[in-house]
Amino acid sequence: MVIGVLDKVRDIKKNGVPVSDKPFSTQLRMTEQEALQAFGHTSFRDGQEEAVKEVLYGRSGVLLVYPTGHGKSLVFELPSLMVDEMTIVVSPLIALMKDQVDKLRKLGIDAIFINSSMTPKEQREALGRLMRGEPKMVYVSPERFTNNEFNRAFNGLDVGIFAVDEAHCISRWGHDFRRAYSKLGEVIERVKPRQVIAATATATRKVQDDICKNLGIPKAKRFVRSVHRPNLILAVVEGSRYSRLNVMASFVADFHKKGQRTGVIYSSWRSHAEDIGSFLNRNGIPATVYHGGKSPKVRTAIQDEWADNGGTIVATSAFGMGIDKPDVRFVIHDGLSQSIEEWYQESGRAGRDGNEALCLSFWDDEPRGRSSDWRVQEVLINQGNPRAEDVEMLWVWLRDEARSQANGGEDAAILNLTQKEMEQKSGCYSASGCMTFLYKKGAVKKLARGRYEVSLKVNGSFDYSELTARREERLAKIQEVVQFYKSAECRSALVCDHFGDDSFKGPCTSCDNCNP
C-alpha cells in the first residue's frame, strides 16, 4: 500500500497535479487518423500528432508555441471530434470567430460563437443551445466571462477541452497584454475542464511560464517549435520617415509587377498609415488603409475583402491577428515595433505557404527628432505608462483647479474641459495616460466626455513604483528592437536567441546581414 502511494506521489511530483481527475471517455468517438481525415488531411505536421495525443491522454495541460501557420488550431479542434464533451475556445478575435465557425460547420462540426457582433435575439438563441450542451465547439472572447447572463448559461456545463488561443495576451510580459485574459485562470478553476490548452505563436520562456502559472497548468506539457522560418527574407533599411516613402513604394511596386500584390505595411500611428496609403495610391499602387479609427463594419469589410482577394493593406497593429492567409508575399514595417515579439508575430504573417516572402523594416536612428520613430513609440508609451512626474504635474493642477471651484467643506468638484485644454493649461502633454492612472487611484472620476469629478480628499503623493516598472519594461522592449535593427549578426539567429530557441545558430543566408 505504502509503495503504491509513493509511486503515485512521485508521479504527481514529476507530472504535476492533473488538470482533471476525470479522464475522457475510454471509448473515443474515432481514431486520430479518422479525425484527421475528417479535417481533409492525410497526415499530421511535425509535432502535431504528439500534441493531440497529449490533449487526449495527458492530464496536466498543454502549451503550444508554434510559429504562425504551423497548425496550432488543429491541436484543439481535432480532439473535439473525438470526445463526447464540449470544447470551449477563448479567442480575442471577434471578427474572425465567424470564419472559424463557418469552416468547422462545413466539416460537419456543430460549432457556434457568442460575441457582441450578434443581435440580442441571436445571443439568446446561442445561449439556449449552450445551456442545453448542444454545440461541440463554442468560440467566445475572454470578456464574455464578465457577462452575468453568459456565466449563468455556462455554469454546470460538462467541458472537455478549454482552449485559450493567442495565450500570450494573458502575460503582462507579452506584447498584447489583455486584462480579461488574466481572469481565465479563475474561470478554469470554476469550470474544471478535463484538459486545458494554451496556444500562441510568440512566447519567450518568461511568457511561457507566466501563461502556465496564470492558467493553473504549471506542469503543462510544452510543445515548442523552432521560430526559424527559412523562407522569410529579413532586412532592415535606415532612413527618415519622409525619404523612405519612395523606397518603400518601389519595393511594393516590384511585387505588383510580378503579380504578387498581397502584402501588409504596418505603421505605429493611424495618421502615418493614412499618409502611406495616400502616397501609394497617388503613385499608382492600389492600397487600402485599416486602423482602429474606422468603424467595426468598415474594418470587417476591409479584412474580408483582403482575406478573399488579397491586395496591399496599410495598417496599424489592429490588423492581422489570427489571419491565416498563405500567399502574403511581403510584410513591411514603417518604424519601430513595440517589441520583438510584436515584430515577429506581424512579420510571421508572410509566407505561410512556405514560399519566399520579404519581411522588411524601415526606421531612422534619430532618438530625439519630433517625428523620429523612437519619439513615436515614446508618445505611445506615455498614453498608457506616463512618467511619474507628468502624473504629479497634472494632479497638482487638477487639484488646484478643483479647490478654486469648490465651496468650503466639499469633498469633490466638477471640472469641464477637453483633453487639449487640460494639456495646455497644466503643461502635461500625456494627459490621457495620466488620467487613466488617476482613475485607478480614485482621485478622478470621468462623468462624461470632457466632464470630470476631482476628489479633494486625495492630497498625498501616489505610489508610482508599478507605473514606473511597467514603463521601464516597455522602453526596454523597444530598445531590444533598436539593437536588433542595428545588429550586423544573422537576424534569424537573433530572433531564435530572443525566444530561447537553440535549434538554429545561423548563418541563414536569407537576411540582409548574412547575404549583404
Report which DSSP code applies to 415.
E
What is the amino acid identity at position 117? S
H or E segment at 391? helix 388-405
CATH number of the domain that residue 406 is part of: 1.10.10.10
In a shared domain, residues 110 and 215: yes
Q: Could you tell me if residue 506 is inside a domain? A: no
- List residues bridging with 162 in a β-sheet: 88, 196
Q: Could you tell me if residue 207 is inside a domain? A: yes
In a shared domain, residues 33 and 129: yes
CB 172 within 8 A of CB 210: yes
**What is the C-alpha separation between 168 and 173, in angstroms, rounded?**
8
In a shared domain, residues 321 and 405: no
**What is the C-alpha separation between 105 and 114, in angstroms, rounded?**
15
Q: Which residues make Cβ contacts (< 8 Å) with residue 406, sequence separation at least 6?
A: 412, 413, 456
* Number of domains composing the chain: 3
Q: Could you tell me if residue 3 is inside a domain? A: no
Q: Could you tell me if residue 371 is inside a domain? A: no
**What is the C-alpha separation between 479 and 195, in angstroms, rounded?**
38
In a shared domain, residues 281 and 305: yes
CATH number of the domain that residue 204 is part of: 3.40.50.300
What is the per-residue burial (b if ≥16 Cβ within 10 Å, else e) of 118-154? beeeebeebbebbeeeebbbbbbbbbbbebeebeebb
In a shared domain, residues 58 and 164: yes
Bridge pairing between strands 263-267 and 330-334: parallel
pLDDT single digits (tens) 203-218? 888 889 999 999 999 9
Question: What is the average pLDDT across 44-51?
Answer: 88
Q: Could you tell me if residue 511 is inside a domain? A: no
What beta strand segments (E) does 369-474 contain? 412-416, 444-448, 451-455
In a shared domain, residues 268 and 206: no
* DSSP state string for 288-335: EEE-TTS-HHHHHHHHHHHHHH--EEEE-TTS-TT---TT--EEEEES
- What is the dihedral angle through the alpha carbons of 322, 353, 227, 514, rounded to the nearest 10 degrees? -130
Bridge pairing between strands 451-455 and 412-416: antiparallel
**What is the C-alpha separation between 224 and 354, in angstroms, rounded?**
19
pLDDT single digits (tens) 310-328? 999 999 988 876 677 889 9
Q: What local confidence, expressed as pLDDT, does residue 195 receive?
A: 94
pLDDT single digits (tens) 152-207? 888 888 899 999 998 988 876 655 677 888 889 999 999 899 999 999 988 888 88
Range of the domain at 457: 386-464
pLDDT single digits (tens) 227-268? 889 999 999 998 777 778 999 999 999 999 999 999 999 998
103: confidence class by pLDDT, cuts 50, 70, 90: confident
Instruction: Compute and round to an integer the Cα radius of gyration of the chain.
Output: 25
For residue 36, pLDDT beyond 60: yes
User: Cα–Cα distances in Å, from 202 out to 147, 292, 419, 496?
Assistant: 29, 23, 36, 11
Mean pLDDT (the chain) is: 87
For residue 149, pLDDT beyond 70: yes
CA-nearest of 265, 418, 379 to 330 is: 265
In a shared domain, residues 250 and 218: no
CB 352 within 8 A of CB 328: yes
Q: What local confidence, expressed as pLDDT, does residue 330 receive?
A: 97
In a shared domain, residues 438 and 410: yes
Cα dihedral sign, 209-214-217-222: negative
Q: Which residue has the cell 482621485?
A: 443
Q: Could you tell me if residue 163 is inside a domain? A: yes
In a shared domain, residues 58 and 184: yes
Listed as own residue / partner, the contacts of 152-159 with beta carbons closer than 8 Å and 24 or more positions apart are 153/127, 153/128, 154/130, 154/191, 155/190, 157/86, 157/130, 157/131, 157/133, 157/191, 158/85, 158/86, 158/133, 159/85, 159/86, 159/87, 159/88, 159/191, 159/192, 159/193, 159/194
- CB atoms inside a 10 Å sphere around CB 232: 22
In a shared domain, residues 30 and 109: yes
In a shared domain, residues 392 and 337: no
Stated pTM of the model: 0.79
Q: Could you tell me if residue 470 is inside a domain? A: no
CA-nearest of 319, 348, 347, 318 to 332 is: 347
CB 199 within 8 A of CB 165: yes
Question: What is the average pLDDT across 329-335?
Answer: 96
Q: Could you tell me if residue 195 is inside a domain? A: yes
Where does residue 151 fall: left (phi above 0), alpha (psi -120 to 50 degrees), or beta otherwise?
alpha
In a shared domain, residues 179 and 108: yes
For residue 368, pLDDT beyond 80: no
